[in-house]
Amino acid sequence: MIVCHCTGITDRQIRSAVGWMRASDPDTIVTPGKIYHALGRRADCGGCMKLFVATMRAAEGFAVDAGPAPVPAILRGLSRAAG
């Protein structure tokens, strides 16, 4: 299915781009801009963005494994120190 008519990007291309990005860097933040860039395209009118993001979020492997990561010692207490 074509998701972005301006550039001809399909749902299959979006899912492939998400998979490729996740395989190359499991912790990367996948954004529409990064997908456009990976596909060698540029966003145009933005009319597809709602469907584009929904397709991206539904792609297998989109979510980053959010296991409990400890806060680095250097970052602990920064909010109290700033006040």
Read off the pLDDT of each residue in 51-60 and give the average, rounded to a whole number: 94
pLDDT value at 13 more than 90:
yes
- pLDDT > 70: percent of the chain: 83
Look up the pTM and report it.
Answer: 0.74
pLDDT at 82: 55
Q: Can you say whether the dihedral through the CA atoms of 24, 30, 36, 37 is positive or negative?
A: negative
Query: Can you tell me the distance from the alpha carbon of 64 to that of 1, in angstroms, rounded to the nearest whole number?
Result: 25
pLDDT at 71: 67
| 40-50 pLDDT tens trace | 999 999 999 99
Round the average pLDDT of the chain to a whole number and report it: 86
